[in-house]
Chain A
Amino acid sequence: MIIFDNVIKKFPLGNFALNEVSFEINDNEFVFLVGPSGAGKTTILKLILREFIPTAGIIKIDDWEISSKNFKKILSLRRKIGVVFQDFKILNDKTVFENIALSLKVIGLLPSNKIKEEVKKALELVNLPDKEKVFPLQLSAGELQRVAIARAIVGEREILLADEPTGNLDPKTSWEIMKIFKKLEGKRTIIIASHNVDIVNSMQKRVLQLRKGELIKDIKKGKYELS
């Protein structure tokens, strides 16, 4: 479970990225974070990933408060979370296989044959079964996004965060990407930050709508209303 309790995030220049935001997300829930650019969607994702800590308020993930400086707990948290970054963060000097396997290798619990098996499963799920040995520069934007998703979902991490996963993609590719997330529904907690109105509205999932760092709406099976 993810709990945000009156969370404030203020950056050094004085701007409030989040202002007294409170919500709870249950395990295996599917949630959209919506809002215009600068609303605070990415900030929420980064707080969950413990890239930084809140200025005020409490954030708890599975009863552990993330402001703690316990390095082992932070590591353990990040190993539970798969992230699809807005800029993909795919490493160009590694093959598709190596990029995805990285997610399993850092944990270091699986032997190489098991890693191979898991990577193949992930590639099947994202419809890239024959792209193992290809380098990222040889892929299209949609394929890169699928590799990023594969890396985030491999190894069955409990929480999946996606920051604008359809940001630079055409509508057809965007829907293909969302179908992948739909396949994972109910198997892990999924939180997607998006400003794609059509996709959010047609998915009929819980919507947390943000504006200027404040949570203005929290609706189950909600819609993203621009006004």
Chain B
Amino acid sequence: MKEIISSIRRTPYQSLSAFLALFFTLFLSTLIFMSLSFLYSLLAYIETRPQVTAYFQTNIEENKIFKIREELSNSGKVSSVKYISQKEAFEIYKKLNKDNPLLLEMVSADILPPSLEIYAKRPIFLPEIAEYLKKQPGVDEVQFQKDIVDRLLTLTNILRTTAISFFMFLILMATVVLTTSISFKIALKKEEIELLRLIGASNFYIRKPFLKESFFLGFLAVTTSFVLIISFLFYFQPFLNSYLRGISQLFLLLNNFQLQIWPLSLTFLGITYILSLFFGLTISFIATYFATKKYLKV
């Protein structure tokens, strides 16, 4: 550790530029990773929600709603239809807003609409079902979840594509900056490296101090960026909580393992940190390998 600190102090500006390049790369890549995880888990959540929801006028008779429900069930295109009465809707509303008594005071069961939540057997039936519902008397609004899903999918794909291109650029930049910084340090130690070669040091022995230093910078960059992101997340948590009102939890399903994304879980944070660390140390290793390669010819 003493040698690492001494080497950093000897070339402070080079070390700082290497650290900053790594920091920005890892900060942005961790942010992108967490955003994508969040979006995919949101997508998974929405896909579990009813695919079509029909909201009825508050003064409609229940019989008419039951007739529509029967017709849908007999159509052969629907896997399930669930009726939510005004009372049930009010119970759901109370549960979602239990922390906000002001909102509860202003609402009663009468003003909440009854609804039908429909799951189709196949996605191609959804437009047809939505069209049918729109034509029924007493239907106030038909929410077609597919629109939301499609929009979210598009957003996720755009983010993923942009992220990958941006990502590759950041990795290249960080690797180049780190390689240059290490090359500069190697140039300062040229005599020592020459001596080490002549007294029988292996390539690994010569590379070791530079590897240690770049791993240290990588570790520092990962940890600093991670701490900053977590701080932002906790600071904006109340805003995110209100934005995601109604959604109690978000999960990602990975090979039969359910990873909780929201509320933030230690497992998710742990996995994010380990992946960032692995990524940061890989960049450090590659940069050091290329920087030292030139000086290790026998």
User: Given A71-B298, A91-B192, A91-B195 in contact, is the A79-B200 Cβ separation under 8 Å?
Assistant: yes
B196's nearest neighbour on chain A, judged by CB, is A106
**CA gap between A71 and B200 in the complex, in Å:** 11
Q: Mark B38-55, 1 if CB is under 8 A from A, else 0.
A: 000000000000000000
Please classify the interface of chain A as helix (H, G, I), strand (E, B), loop, or mixed, using the class held by over half of its residues. mixed
B10's nearest neighbour on chain A, judged by CB, is A93
Q: Mark A63-100, 1 if CB is under 8 A from B, else 0.
A: 00000010100111111011100000101000000000
User: Given A71-B298, A106-B205, A108-B205 in contact, is the A78-B198 Cβ separation under 8 Å?
Assistant: yes
Write out the residue numbers on chain A whose beta carbons fall within 8 Å of the beta carbon of B191: 89, 91
**CA gap between A50 and B195 in the complex, in Å:** 13
A 101-116 contacts with B by CB, 8 A: 102-103, 105-108
Please classify the interface of chain B as helix (H, G, I), strand (E, B), loop, or mixed, using the class held by over half of its residues. helix
Chain A proximity of B132: nearest CB distance (Å) = 77
B202 within 8 A of A: yes
Write out the residue numbers on chain A whose beta carbons fall within 8 Å of the beta carbon of B194: 89
User: By the criterion of a CB under 8 Å from any partner CB, how many residues of chain A are at the interface?
Assistant: 23
**Number of contacts between A and B (CB, 8 Å)?**
40
User: Given A91-B191, A106-B205, A108-B205 in contact, is the A75-B200 Cβ separation under 8 Å?
Assistant: yes
User: Across the interface, do B195 and A75 meet the contact criterion of CB distance under 8 Å?
Assistant: no
Write out the residue numbers on chain B whose beta carbons fall within 8 Å of the beta carbon of A49: 198
A170 within 8 A of B: no
B92 within 8 A of A: no
Chain B proximity of A125: nearest CB distance (Å) = 18
User: Across the interface, do A74 and B298 meet the contact criterion of CB distance under 8 Å?
Assistant: yes
User: Across the interface, do A78 and B200 meet the contact criterion of CB distance under 8 Å?
Assistant: yes
User: Across the interface, do B202 and A106 meet the contact criterion of CB distance under 8 Å?
Assistant: yes
**CA gap between A208 and B199 in the complex, in Å:** 25
A51 within 8 A of B: yes
Q: Which of B192, B198, B205 has the most CB of A within 10 A?
A: B198
**CA gap between A102 and B196 in the complex, in Å:** 8
Write out the residue numbers on chain B whose beta carbons fall within 8 Å of the beta carbon of A83: 198-199
User: Across the interface, do B200 and A106 meet the contact criterion of CB distance under 8 Å?
Assistant: yes
Chain B proximity of A80: nearest CB distance (Å) = 8
B201 within 8 A of A: yes
The 24 listed contacts between A and B (C-beta, < 8 Å) are A50-B298, A69-B298, A71-B298, A74-B298, A75-B200, A76-B200, A77-B200, A78-B197, A78-B199, A79-B199, A79-B200, A83-B198, A83-B199, A89-B191, A89-B194, A91-B191, A91-B195, A102-B195, A102-B199, A106-B196, A106-B199, A106-B202, A107-B200, A151-B199
B interface list, Cβ under 8 A from A = 191-192, 194-202, 205, 298
A interface list, Cβ under 8 A from B = 49-51, 69, 71, 74-79, 81-83, 89, 91, 102-103, 105-108, 151
